[in-house]
Amino acid sequence: MCAAFPDFRLGSVLATSFTGTLSERHGSAVERIPTPHRLVDWLAVSGLAVDSCTTAQLDLARELRESIHAAATAAAVQDALPAPAVQVINDRSAEGRAAAILTPEGKRRWRLSSACCVEDALGVIAADAISIIAGERDGKLALCASPTCRAAFFDTSQSRTRKWCDMNTCGNRQKKARFHANQRKDPGSAE
């Protein structure tokens, strides 16, 4: 663990958790997988452990991430899906050779074809993106209400009215800003 690297914001949906490794795309962007080693760390906490990653594999991962972001954003606003993004998602999905394994405890685990096969892990992420963009899962793609974020997230709330992306960091930031603005307007109320 190195404190110099930004931490991860893990959501419950693999594909949008992955797109969240670049945050504040419309503000001061934060790259959370700046090195191959950080992608290895992210894959480990996401149930897709590999032992190593090359710079070329990190490039593939980032290309997939931005393709998922583009396609999920289009799907959220009901635009036509961008063809180059769809191509990248399909290529990564087709290249992966991970197998779903049922554990004795009845949990699903992913088994990669080899421990250095980042491509297998990317295949799992691409397939996850396909399932949410295709509308196969219970939920709805939406865009975060924060103007500096605009991340695509998968809203599984019953009312489908969630406004903020995963982990609510954007929502919390907004609430805090409003709180401070109110304090400034009416300093007496803070006493």
Neighbours of 132 (CB within 10 A): 23
Beta strands in 44-190 (DSSP E): 99-102, 108-111, 140-143, 152-155
Site stretch for Zn ion (CB under 5 A), options 59-67, 81-89, 114-122, 162-170: 162-170
User: Least CB distance from residue 173 to Zn ion, whole Å?
Assistant: 9
Q: CB nearer to Zn ion: give 32 or 37.
A: 32
Q: CB nearer to Zn ion: give 42 or 153.
A: 153
**Contact with Zn ion (CB under 5 A) among 122, 149, 152, 162:** 149
- 188: which 2 tokens? 């007496």
Nearest to 71 by CA among 54, 55, 93: 93
Amino acid at site 185: K
Q: CB nearer to Zn ion: give 127 or 149.
A: 149
User: Least CB distance from residue 166 to Zn ion, whole Å?
Assistant: 8
> d(Cα 178, Cα 173) in Å, to the nearest integer?
9
Interface with Zn ion, residue 76, by CB under 5 A: no
> d(Cα 39, Cα 35) in Å, to the nearest integer?
7
**Of how many residues is the chain composed?**
191
| Size of interface with Zn ion, in residues (CB under 5 A) | 6
Q: CB nearer to Zn ion: give 46 or 146.
A: 146
Q: CB nearer to Zn ion: give 50 or 165.
A: 165
Interface with Zn ion, residue 73, by CB under 5 A: no
Binding mask 3-22 for Zn ion (x = CB under 5 A): --------------------
Interface with Zn ion, residue 165, by CB under 5 A: yes
> Please, which of residues 129-148 interact with Zn ion by CB under 5 A?
144, 146
- 85: which 2 tokens? 């993004």
Amino acid at site 120: D
The answer to whether residues 153 and 162 touch, using CB atoms and an 8 Å cutoff, is yes
User: Least CB distance from residue 182 to Zn ion, whole Å?
Assistant: 22
- 78: which 2 tokens? 């009901």
Q: CB nearer to Zn ion: give 19 or 93.
A: 19
Q: What are phi and psi of 18, to 5 degrees?
A: -70, -45
Where on the chain is the footprint of Zn ion (CB under 5 A)? Answer: 144, 146, 149, 151, 165, 170
